[in-house]
Every structure is written in structure tokens, then in C-alpha cells.
Amino acid sequence: MSGHSVNTFEQRAFANLLVHVDRGYKVISIRDYKQSDAEALWSLFFHTIRTINVRDYSQAQVEAWASDEYNPQYWEKRMKGLAPFVAQINEAIVGYTDLQSDGLIDHFFCHHEYQGQGVGRALMNHVLTVGRARRIHRYYSEVSITARPFYEHMGFSVVDEKVEEMDGERLRYYVMERFS
């Protein structure tokens, strides 16, 4: 055996989780979804859209996108189907995303109080690492106006612009993709 170290999958994945925040280092751990996460993920989804996405969408649009009504049975079923990856700093859930077998990233949300602190990068790096292990070569997502710059920074390109109607409100978004 040679004298150089082996950079294993686990070492590379862990290295991606160390994030410099406020003159110190915090570890962002990423784990698989548990049913007990459902309500916290809904809250994160709701508050992120209402707090962050309102920069690019009207109040009526974000209210249509993230309704005040929480339906636990529907949301738990939705999360179980997505099988998301959950990001935590200490015990706090700070983001979540998923990766479907065809390369679709259906949900990608970072807690509104942890924006710009490396959570999104850690989640996307995790998605790409898992995708390589699953032999996924094309990643794609339907991305909000707000998330577009982040996705572009992560190597995604716009392939289409669409408008979807939700509760009488028209919301513009982008289909973005990346190849590995």
C-alpha cells in the first residue's frame, strides 16, 4: 500500500458538510427522512416560501403556494413518497431536499433563518454524491425565481420557463437541469 491517504466516499461526503459560519465551524449533518420530521418540514416549507420567496412573488402568490392549512395526512404521505434528505445543525432542521430515480429534485428548501450559510450547498452536494452512486447523469428541477441564482451557481442551466396556476394565482418558474 502506498503512503498517500485514500479519499473515500464517506470522507468526501463529510468534508462537504463542514461549513464556515460566523467565525466558527458548524457541522451540517444530512440524514434520511423520518416520519417524525413531517411537521417540521412543513413548517420549514411554509415559512421559507412566506419569508424568502415573497421577495420575488406577490403576497397572494406565496399564500397560494404555501397555504395556511396544514393537512398532516397529506403532508406525511407526500414526504414519505419523496423520501427526502434532511439537513440539521445540532438538533435543528435547517433544510431538506430529495432526489428521485429519474434525477428529479422535487423539493429543495433551506430554512429562512439559515439562508446563505452553506445549507443549500451541503444539500446539493449530497444530492450529487447520492446521484453518482445511483448512476444518475441528468439532474433537473422546477425552480422558483428566488432559487434560480443558487441553481445556476451549482451548475444548472435554464431549459424552459413556465407558469403554473395555483388557487387563481399565476406563478412563474424555471425548468433547470445539470449533467454530470
Predicted model pTM: 0.87
Helix and strand tally (H, E) in the chain?
6, 8
Could you give phi then psi for residue 28, rounded to 5 degrees? -95, 115
Domain ranges of the chain: 9-137
For residue range 66-82, list pLDDT tens digits in order. Answer: 999 999 999 999 999 99
Q: Residue 2's pLDDT is what?
A: 39
Relative to beta strand 108-110, strand 85-89 is unpaired
Q: Which residues make beta-bridge pairs with 144?
A: 173
Q: Residue 4's pLDDT is what?
A: 39
For residue range 78-103, list pLDDT tens digits in order. Answer: 999 999 999 999 999 999 999 999 99
**Contact status, residue 21 vs residue 118, Cβ threshold 8 Å:** yes
Relative to beta strand 138-144, strand 92-97 is unpaired
In 3D space, the residue among 6, 15, 9, 5 whose CA is nearest the CA of residue 132 turns out to be 9
Q: Please say if the pLDDT value at position 166 is more than 90.
A: yes
**Contact status, residue 121 vs residue 31, Cβ threshold 8 Å:** no
**Contact status, residue 33 vs residue 85, Cβ threshold 8 Å:** yes
**Distance, CA of 40 to CA of 169 (rounded, Å):** 26
114 or 12, which is more confident: 114
- Per CATH, the number for 9-137 is 3.40.630.30
Q: Mean pLDDT over residues 48-59, rounded?
A: 97
For residue range 14-27, list pLDDT tens digits in order. Answer: 444 444 444 456 89
Query: Which amino acid is present at 42?
Result: W
CA trace torsion 131, 132, 137, 141 (10° rounding): 20
Average pLDDT, the chain: 90
Q: Residue 26's pLDDT is what?
A: 81
**Distance, CA of 121 to CA of 118 (rounded, Å):** 5
**Distance, CA of 20 to CA of 6 (rounded, Å):** 24
Query: Which amino acid is present at 158?
Result: V
How sure is the predictor about 12, in pLDDT bands with cuts at 50, 70 and 90? very low
**Distance, CA of 12 to CA of 50 (rounded, Å):** 34
For residue range 116-163, list pLDDT tens digits in order. Answer: 999 999 999 999 999 999 999 999 999 999 999 999 999 999 999 999
Q: Please say if the pLDDT value at position 9 is more than 50.
A: no
